[in-house]
Amino acid sequence: MTMSWQVLIELYQVPERGGLWVTVENTQVLVSRNGEEINGFAMECPHLGYSLEFGKIWDGELTCPFHSYRFSLRDGHCLNAICPDLIRYPVKIVDQQVLINLTPQGETQA
């Protein structure tokens, strides 16, 4: 898979201590913000792979709608269960825009 960065969203559009879903190349990404820290997470819950799209986003956390596992939007860590972290995509900020690479972190990048 090639490593390519593309614009996901303008930085100012991402709510502080919150997040929103953005579709890029037919992939839904949860982009979250904590100060200058930006993260991009995959839509699949790391528990059983169900969609997190209708999960509750509140106060820097995402709660899965299926089994109520809670995840920190700061680092994707699961807060109330033994479960892998949310899948993250590499993101960076360039000229007040959030750029994303759709290769999940941890996968081999060419």
**Chain contacts with ligand FES (rule: CB under 6 A):** 45, 47-48, 50, 64, 66-67, 69
The answer to whether 55 and 64 have CB atoms below 8 angstroms apart is yes
Q: Which is nearer to ligand FES, 38 or 45 (CB)?
A: 45
Buried b or exposed e, range 90-110, using 16+ CB within 10 angstroms: bbeeeeeebbbbbbeeeeeee
Task: For residue 6, give the 3-state DSSP assignment.
Answer: strand
Task: Report the residue number, 17 or 47, with the smaller CB distance to ligand FES.
Answer: 47
Q: Pick the closer one to ligand FES by CB: 37 or 53.
A: 53
Strand partners, 16: 33
How far apart CA 6 and CA 91 sit, in angstroms, is 9
- Smallest distance from ligand FES to CB 104, Å: 17
- At its nearest, how many Å lie between ligand FES and the CB of residue 66? 4
Q: How far is the CB of 79 from ligand FES (least distance, A)?
A: 12
